[in-house]
Amino acid sequence: MAEALQDLLGIGQKVDATTSDYISYLAGQPVDALRSSERQLLSQASNSALLSIQSLSKKSYKAVVGSADSHASLRETIPALSSNAVQLSRFISNLDSQVEHFSTSISKAGDSKSIARRRQVLKMLENADRLTDLMQVPTLLSSTANISPLGFSSTLDLYGHIQRLGALYPNSQLVSDVLSESEASILRLATDLINTLKAPNLKLAATLRTVGWLKRAIPDLIAWAPAQDMIPVVFLLCRFITLAATLDALEPLRLLAEDERLSQGKPGQSRPSGQHTERFLKRFIEVFREHSFGIVSMSKSVDTNLGGTGPDSLDLLHPLPSALSTFPIHLVNMLLEPLRIYLPAVKDKVARESILTQVLYCAGSLGRLGADFGMLLAMIGVSEWVDLVKRHRLLAGRLESVIGDYR
């Protein structure tokens, strides 16, 4: 039926799908419907399509006009593109010949300084992050050392890493500069550690920690002396400076004692009581006893911690005595000198015995460390020293017997 209708309308067989579907639709409709309602339906569909086309043209006319203009310009751009492509092809051929000429003229990379320099620059670009980290090492060393004493170990570890880099790359100017700046930071760190050893109330634990850090820092700064020889000397010097500064604080009392001593030989003046001299000597002996015992005892611990040789050991490589073996002599001279000068100004027997008892206790404290100086008091003219020692030994013997009976 549809084919007969197509023949009747003179359309033929080659129609689009929409036309074919509509002819099939018409073939299935009754004649009355085609006469009455189809014309109206077509009119409505035509009107709806017209409205849709008008709405579409109103919204999209600019895009349609632009597209039309762009398509019109293709007539000019496509030939230009073709011409440029041909020109690019010629340039590529020329570039290829130049590259081949360059590769044949330079057989080895080492024969060209420019290529070697270019490779060096490329390596630097590849390692830019590492080089940046390396240049930040001196600043990092200073910051870690200033955070807290716990940062000293990290600082020394980082400095050891820089030293290894310096050994691996001795010809690198950058590594040499970083190593030089790092050495300055380690020198400041060593200075801070040495100042720590001068603290008035230095404890043994802090001493051993500081000495351990110095043991790692000093060999890198002083190559001509082993750490086990240098650090005990540095420790004794620091503690001696602290002791001297503490004793210097007694200068007002010493001046009063000096006035009493000088006024004894002047005629026409009342005889001084020696109270100022007694106060000065007692305070001097008290400070000396506390500091001298701590210096010698901690110095022994430092020497043991460093693995140094004791003063009595035979070491052919270190024939000179250690600093600790001769240091107590200087300490004792510091105490004997004011006793020799000012003790004669104290005339009261009880006061003199009180002062000498303090000296006896001080000698006993150092005697436990092998530095008893009691026998040297006879050299400064202390006549009652022998009797005082005998009485104290007698009292000590009685106390020991009482304790033994109690046990």
Question: What value does the mean pLDDT take over residues 15-31?
Answer: 76
Q: What average pLDDT does the structure give for the chain?
A: 80
Q: What's the rounded Cα separation, in Å, for the pair 83 and 379?
A: 117
Question: What value does the mean pLDDT take over residues 142-148?
Answer: 67
Domain residue limits, the chain: 1-54, 128-196, 225-406
- Of 360, 363, 287, the C-alpha closest to 328 is 363
Q: pLDDT category, 219, cuts 50, 70, 90?
A: low
Q: What's the rounded Cα separation, in Å, for the pair 92 and 88?
A: 6
Q: Considering only 18-32, 54-68, 362-376, which range has the smallest mean pLDDT?
A: 18-32
**What are the tokens at 359?**
């000296």
**Per-residue pLDDT reduced to its tens digit, 295-354:** 989 988 888 887 654 444 444 444 445 777 788 888 888 999 999 999 888 888 889 889
- The answer to whether residue 87 scores a pLDDT higher than 60 is yes
pTM for this entry: 0.62
Say which DSSP state 53 is in: H
- The answer to whether residue 36 scores a pLDDT higher than 70 is yes
Q: pLDDT category, 126, cuts 50, 70, 90?
A: confident
**Cα atoms in the Cβ-side hemisphere of radius 13 Å centred on 237:** 7
Better pLDDT: 102 or 191: 191
**Per-residue pLDDT reduced to its tens digit, 220-274:** 556 555 666 788 888 999 999 999 999 999 999 999 999 888 887 665 555 556 7
Question: What value does the mean pLDDT take over residues 163-187?
Answer: 86
Whether the Cβ atoms of residue 174 and residue 135 lie closer than 8 Å to each other: yes
The pLDDT value recorded for residue 13 is 62
- The answer to whether residue 62 scores a pLDDT higher than 80 is yes
What is each CA distance from 381 to 127, 284, 343, 344, 384, in whole angstroms? Answer: 78, 19, 10, 9, 9
